[in-house]
Every structure is written in C-alpha cells, then in structure tokens.
Amino acid sequence: MWKFTPILKHTLWGGSKIAELKGMVDKGESIGESWEISSLAGSVSVVADGVDAGLSILQLIARDKECLLGRRNYERHGDEFPLLVKFIDAEKDLSIQVHPDDAMASMHGHRGKTEMWYVVDAAEGTRICNGFRNRIDKSDYSQMVASGRIMDSLNYIDIAKDDVYYIPAGRIHAIGAGAFLVEVQQASDVTYRVYDYMRRDADGRLRELHVDLASEALDFDDVGGGAIVYDKNDDSAMTLMQTDYFTTQLYRLREEYVRDLRDLDSFVVITLTEGECRIIEGEESRVVAAGDTI
C-alpha cells in the first residue's frame, strides 16, 4: 500500500480547490491538476512515505512486476503504469479538445486516451461539453472551426456533485468553469485543442491549436451522452464504469467495510474525496483523508 507525492500542474485555468482539499498552504497559485499516480515521462510519481519513500512507481514496478500490476496488466503494458489518476480544478473553462484512440496515438508512440470524470463538486450553472449535439462531418467541422462557430455544434450539459461522465477517445469535450473532478484515464497526455477562447500563455502567445490532428482523431458519428446513471443514495459499493482500460467503483462508507482482493489479478487505486477512513491490508494500516490517493 503506497501513497505518492502529488504532482501539481499550474495552469491558466486552475484555481485553489486542490490545495484546499489536500490541506495545503494556499500560495495563491493557479493549480489546475494534481496527478495522483503517473508513470508518464517527466511526471513520474514518487512514494511519499514509509520504507519505500523516494522510490518511483517505475522502480516499484521493476521490483515487483506482476505482483504490483497483475499478470494480465503486465503482459499488456510491460513496465509502465497503465493509468493516470488526477484531480482537476477548473476555475476557468478548459479548451475544447479531443484525444486520439490507440490506433492513431500508436503512430506517434503514445497510448490513446479514454477517460472518466467523477464530479467532486460543481458551482451552480457549471457545464461540460460531452460530444457533438448532432452528427456532423469533416467538412462541417472545418467550416465551423474556420468561422468560429464550433461551439454551436457541441452537446453542453449542466453538471452536479457526484455526476459521472464517460469520455471515450475520439469524442470532442470540454470541462467548464466551476467543475472540480477526479479523472481516471489511460496513461496518456496527448490532447488536440480545437478551440481555446483566444487565450494567451504566460509569454503572451496564443496557445497552440491542433485543428487538423483533431479532425483525424474525432469520431464524427459520436453524438455525446449524459451522465452515467446510478443510484446516488445507495451506500453500497457501486460499479460506475467497466471499460477495456479500467473499472471504477464508488464506495460511500458509514461503517466498516471488508473486501477480499487476494484473487484480483490487478492493482487497485483508492481516491478519497470526502471524510476520512482507515485502510487495513494484512499487517499494514493507514489513515486516509480527503484528497489522498493510495
């Protein structure tokens, strides 16, 4: 059982909610993301405490291999951790974007990026974009981008706390201002921006767009959907998503809960969004607070 030092990402659109949730000193910085577990180059997670403090997740995998990842995961992904788990705090709108699927990403030496969002909190009136409102084709897309009308084609949804959304690779999407999310995704940081509100970076330059790459990545037949339906009042363990890349479950714990994972041929990632609990595994015991990921 390991806790990793969060990797904080400062962005143009981030806010203060990540620092607040994690009990960090607010330095007035714009933190858009906290990468909780990652093996991506340049952002490799490091164990925060315990006997393995200072070791990277790649070193743990090299040492334990199948025992850490699970046999099938190791056969499929080798020495890399296959997921990226993060908090996202959108104080401002994120760009309208798309991620490539495995086939397209592999041509550039990357994985595709399918993801899921769990809404930790949302200000009143917060929206996301989840796909196109109606089917369009490449020609429609090119004309709308060129004329600045791409937003007219998008499926916007009002969101609320505890909502869950599935964003498969190839789906156009955006996170709106006021959203605070946990994102579970394939281990990839490949993003093609379609529109970014004419924003400039810290050096005063317009942020790069990837309109042509996005047109190759987009699934134009994919009309977006709403939230994943589940019983928000159910206190039992609930499976939210099962994909080829990850399975996510939600636990609302009000009393002791026991689960035997010895026969599970996989790692397990636990992220706490509210409250506090104690996790016991064999002889090891750890108190976990809101904002922690194990």
Catalytic residues: 193
CA 104, 80, 250 angle in degrees (round to 5)?
Answer: 90
Count CB-CB contacts under 10 A for residue 250: 17
Amino acid making up residue 14 = G
CA 53, 113, 130 angle in degrees (round to 5)?
Answer: 120
**In whole angstroms, what separates CA 226 from the centre of its chain?**
18
Query: Rounded to an integer, what distance in angstroms lies between the CA atom of residue 270 and that of residue 206?
Result: 38
Q: How buried is residue 16: exposed, middle or buried, by Cβ count under 10 Å (0-12/13-18/19+)?
A: middle
Ramachandran class of 178: left when φ > 0, alpha when ψ lies in -120 to 50, beta otherwise = left
Count CB-CB contacts under 10 A for residue 149: 12
Helices in 137-267 by DSSP H: which ranges? 138-147, 211-217
Residues 6+ apart with CB under 8 A from 187: 38, 39, 40, 80, 81, 82, 83, 84, 111
Residues 6+ apart with CB under 8 A from 225: 130, 131, 166
What phi and psi values does residue 132 have, to the nearest 5 degrees? -80, 150
Total residues found in the chain within this entry: 294
